[in-house]
Amino acid sequence: MEFIKPGTYIDFMKYRGPVITVLGIIATLSLVSLFYPGPNYGIDFAGGTEVQLLFKGDTSPAEVRKALQDSGYARPDVISVEDQPNEYIIRVQEVSSLPDAQVEKIRTSVATALGDGVLQEMKVSPGGDKITLRVSGPVNEQQLQEALMTGGANVRSINALTGSRDPRYEAQLVGVADELMTQLQRRFGERAPASALRVEWVGPKAGQQLRDAAIQSLLYAIAFIMLYVAFRFDLRFAPGGVIAMLHDALITLGIYVLLQKEVNLTTVAALLTIMGYSINDTIVVFDRIRENMVRVRDKSLRELINISTSQMLSRTLVTSLTTLLSVSAFFFLGTGVIQDIAFALGIGILIGTLSSIFIAAPITEFMDRRLFSRSRG
Amino acid sequence: MDRGWYFRLAIVVGSSVLGFLALWPSVDRWLPCPDVVKEVFDNQINPGLDIKGGLRLMYEVEVDEYIRDRRDRIAEQVQRQCGVLIGVVPEEEIDDIDRAKLDEIRQRCKVERVDKEGGAVRAIRMTFSNQEDARKLSKSWVKDYFRDLRVASGVGDLVVDLHMREEQLANMRETAVRQSERTITNRIDTMGVLEPTVIARPNDGDIIIEIPGAQESSFERIKSIISRTAQLSFKIVDDESDSRSIFTSPPEGIYLNQGAQTFAEAFGEDARDSLRTYIATLAVPDDHELSIGRQEPDPERGGEGWRTYYMYRVADATGEDLDDASVGFDPQSGSPEVDFTMNSRGASRMADLTGRNIGKRMAIVLDDRVESAPVIQGQIGGRGRITLGAYQDRNELLQEAKDLVVVLQAGALPAPLRPANEQLIGPTLGQDSVRKGAVAALVGVILVVVFMALYYQVAGLVADAMVLLNLQLLLGVMSGIGATLTLPGVAAIALTVGMAVDANVLITERIREELRLGKSPRSAVEQGYARAYSSVFDSQLTTAIAGVVLWQFGTGPIKGFATMLLIGIGTSLFTGTFCSKVLFDWLVRGMRVQRLRVG
In angstroms, what separates the C-alpha of B525 from chain A's closest C-alpha?
17
B208 HSE (CA, 13 A, CB side): 19
Contact of B463 with B503, CB cutoff 8 Å: no
Closest CA to B238 of B299, B297, B314: B314
Q: Which residues pair with B325 in a beta bridge?
A: B340
3-state DSSP call for residue B111?
A: strand
What phi, psi does B49 have (nearest 5°)?
-60, -35
Residues A52 and A36 in one domain: no
Is residue A40 packed enough to be buried (19+ CB in 10 Å), middle (13-18) or exposed (0-12)? Answer: middle
In angstroms, what separates the C-alpha of A245 from chain B's closest C-alpha?
11
Residues A108 and A243 in one domain: no
Tell me whether residues A225 and B492 touch, CB distance under 8 A.
no
In angstroms, what separates the C-alpha of B75 from chain A's closest C-alpha?
21
B-chain CB neighbours of A62 within 8 Å are 430-432
Torsion of CA B346, B348, B350, B352, to 10 degrees: -150
Kindly state whether residue A299 falls inside one of the protein's structural domains: yes
What phi, psi does B333 have (nearest 5°)?
-85, -15
Query: Residues for chain A: how many in total?
Result: 377
Amino acid (1-letter code) at residue B49: L
Do β-strands B262-267 and B336-342 pair in parallel, antiparallel, or remain unpaired?
unpaired
Q: Give the residue on B whose Cα is nearest the Cα of A163.
A: B118
User: Considering chain A, what is the average pLDDT of its residues?
Assistant: 87
Tell me whether residues B53 and A342 touch, CB distance under 8 A.
no
Closest CA to B537 of B487, B563, B486, B572: B572
- Total count of domains within chain A: 3
Tell me whether residues B505 and A315 touch, CB distance under 8 A.
yes
B-chain CB neighbours of A210 within 8 Å are 555-558
pLDDT in tens, A82-138: 888 899 999 998 888 788 888 999 998 998 888 877 888 888 888 888 898 888 778
Number of DSSP helices (H) and strands (E) in chain A, helices first: 12, 10
In angstroms, what separates the C-alpha of B534 from chain A's closest C-alpha?
7
Q: Give the residue on A whose Cα is nearest the Cα of B436.
A: A334
Residues A79 and A189 in one domain: yes
Q: How far apart are CA B466 and CA B573, in angstroms?
A: 10
| Whether residue A324 has pLDDT greater than 70 | yes
Tell me whether residues A326 and B505 touch, CB distance under 8 A.
no
DSSP state of A376: P
A-chain CB neighbours of B497 within 8 Å are 326
Picking from A246, A274, A322 by the largest number of B CB atoms within 10 A of its own CB, the best residue to mutate is A322
Q: How far apart are CA A358 and CA A16, in angstroms?
A: 6
Q: Parse chain B into domains and list their residue ranges.
A: 3-50+430-590, 64-168, 230-412
DSSP state of B252: T
Contact of A272 with A221, CB cutoff 8 Å: no
**Backbone angle region of B556, left / alpha / beta, with phi > 0 → left and psi within -120 to 50 → alpha:** left
Closest CA to A341 of A352, A351, A329, A356: A329
Residues A107 and A189 in one domain: no
pLDDT averaged over consecutive 10-residue blocks of chain B (599 residues)?
Answer: 91 95 90 89 87 90 86 87 88 80 87 72 86 87 88 85 86 89 87 82 87 77 86 87 82 83 86 87 85 84 86 82 86 83 86 85 87 83 75 77 84 88 87 89 92 92 93 93 87 80 91 90 92 90 88 80 88 93 91 80
DSSP state of B299: G
Kindly state whether residue A305 falls inside one of the protein's structural domains: yes
Exposure b/e, B520-554, CB count within 10 A at least 16 = b: ebbebbbbbbebbbbbbbbbbebbbbbbbbbbebb
Q: Give the residue on B whose Cα is nearest the Cα of A43.
A: B199
Helix ranges (H only) for B269-386 are: 271-280, 344-356
Picking from A43, A55, A79, A165 by the largest number of B CB atoms within 10 A of its own CB, the best residue to mutate is A79
In angstroms, what separates the C-alpha of B415 from chain A's closest C-alpha?
14
**Peptide bond between residue A167 and the one before it cis (omega within 30 degrees of 0):** no
Q: How far apart are CA B448 and CA B561, in angstroms?
A: 23
A-to-B residue pairs, Cβ atoms closer than 8 angstroms:
266
pLDDT of residue B407: 84
- Cα angle B523, B524, B525 (rounded to 5 degrees) comes to 90
Picking from B186, B542, B598 by the largest number of A CB atoms within 10 A of its own CB, the best residue to mutate is B542
Contact of B469 with B32, CB cutoff 8 Å: no
| Whether residue A346 has pLDDT greater than 50 | yes
List all residues 6 or more positions away from B241 whose beta carbon is below 8 Å from its beta carbon. Answer: B288, B310
B312 HSE (CA, 13 A, CB side): 20
Domains B3-50+430-590 and B230-412 share a fold: no
Note down the domain range covering A154: 100-173
pLDDT in tens, A148-171: 988 888 888 888 887 666 678 889
Residues A248 and A190 in one domain: no
Amino acid (1-letter code) at residue A352: G
Q: How far apart are CA B465 and CA B577, in angstroms?
A: 13
| Whether residue A374 has pLDDT greater than 60 | no
pLDDT in tens, B389-401: 656 677 878 888 8
Residues A166 and A60 in one domain: no
pLDDT of residue B77: 87
Kindly state whether residue A224 falls inside one of the protein's structural domains: yes
List all residues 6 or more positions away from B564 whose beta carbon is below 8 Å from its beta carbon. Answer: B193, B478, B483, B489, B492, B493, B496
Contact of B491 with A338, CB cutoff 8 Å: yes
Q: How far apart are CA B466 and CA B574, in angstroms?
A: 9
Kindly state whether residue A95 falls inside one of the protein's structural domains: no
Starting at the edge strand that comes first in sequence, how are the strands of the sheet with B322-329 ordered? B322-329, B336-342, B383-387
Residues A348 and A244 in one domain: yes
Contact of B141 with B133, CB cutoff 8 Å: no
Q: Give the residue on B whose Cα is nearest the Cα of A232.
A: B538
pLDDT of residue A377: 40
In angstroms, what separates the C-alpha of B540 from chain A's closest C-alpha?
7
Give B22-39 as a 3 state SS string: HHHHHHCCCCCCCHHHHH
pLDDT of residue B433: 87
Query: Residues for chain B: how many in total?
Result: 599
DSSP state of A189: G
Which helix (H) or strand (E) segment is B462 a member of?
helix B431-480
Residues A307 and A325 in one domain: yes
pLDDT of residue A177: 86
**Backbone angle region of A7, left / alpha / beta, with phi > 0 → left and psi within -120 to 50 → alpha:** left
Residues A232 and A364 in one domain: yes
Picking from A325, A332, A339, A341 by the largest number of B CB atoms within 10 A of its own CB, the best residue to mutate is A325
How much is the pTM?
Answer: 0.82
Which helix (H) or strand (E) segment is B101 a member of?
helix B99-108
Picking from A77, A338, A341, A353 by the largest number of B CB atoms within 10 A of its own CB, the best residue to mutate is A338
Residues A83 and A139 in one domain: no
Q: How far apart are CA B112 and CA B76, in angstroms?
A: 9
Long-range contacts of B171-175 (CB under 8 A, 24+ apart): B172/B63, B172/B66, B172/B67, B172/B70, B173/B63, B173/B66, B173/B67, B173/B202, B173/B205, B174/B202, B175/B66, B175/B414
| Whether residue A376 has pLDDT greater than 50 | no
Kindly state whether residue A376 falls inside one of the protein's structural domains: no
Domain B230-412 class, CATH top level: alpha beta
Kindly state whether residue A5 falls inside one of the protein's structural domains: no
pLDDT of residue A37: 87
Look at the alpha carbons of B413, B419, B420, B421 in this order and tell me if their dihedral is positive or negative: positive
Q: How far apart are CA B125 and CA B137, in angstroms?
A: 13
A-chain CB neighbours of B54 within 8 Å are none
Going by pLDDT thresholds of 50, 70 and 90, the confidence category of residue A32 is very high
Q: What architecture does CATH give domain B3-50+430-590?
A: Up-down Bundle (1.20)
B-chain CB neighbours of A329 within 8 Å are 440-441, 443-444, 447, 494
Contact of B350 with B381, CB cutoff 8 Å: yes
Q: How far apart are CA B233 and CA A52, in angstroms?
A: 41
Tell me whether residues B53 and A80 touch, CB distance under 8 A.
yes
Residues A236 and A307 in one domain: yes
Domain with residue A144: its CATH number is: 3.30.980
List all residues 6 or more positions away from A363 whose beta carbon is below 8 Å from its beta carbon. Answer: A239, A240, A243, A244
Going by pLDDT thresholds of 50, 70 and 90, the confidence category of residue A349 is very high
Look at the alpha carbons of B417, B420, B426, B429 in this order and tell me if their dihedral is positive or negative: negative
Query: How does DSSP assign B357-420, residue by residue?
Result: TTTSEEEEEETTEEEE--B--S---SEEEEE--TTS-HHHHHHHHHHHHHHHHH---SS-EEEE
Kindly state whether residue A325 falls inside one of the protein's structural domains: yes
B-chain CB neighbours of A273 within 8 Å are 492, 495
Kindly state whether residue A3 falls inside one of the protein's structural domains: no
In angstroms, what separates the C-alpha of A365 from chain B's closest C-alpha?
20
3-state DSSP call for residue A81?
A: strand
Contact of B287 with B313, CB cutoff 8 Å: yes
Q: Give the residue on B whose Cα is nearest the Cα of A220.
A: B549
Q: How far apart are CA B50 and CA B211, in angstroms?
A: 11
Residues A135 and A166 in one domain: yes
Amino acid (1-letter code) at residue B273: D
- Cα angle B149, B155, B159 (rounded to 5 degrees) comes to 90
Closest CA to A237 of A297, A308, A296, A295: A308
- Minimum-distance CB partner of A276 among B431, B432, B565: B565
Q: How far apart are CA B434 and CA B412, in angstroms?
A: 38
Tell me whether residues B545 and A287 touch, CB distance under 8 A.
no
Q: Give the residue on A whose Cα is nearest the Cα of B460.
A: A1
The helix, strand and coil proportions of chain A, stated in percent and rounded to the nearest 5, come to 60, 15, 25
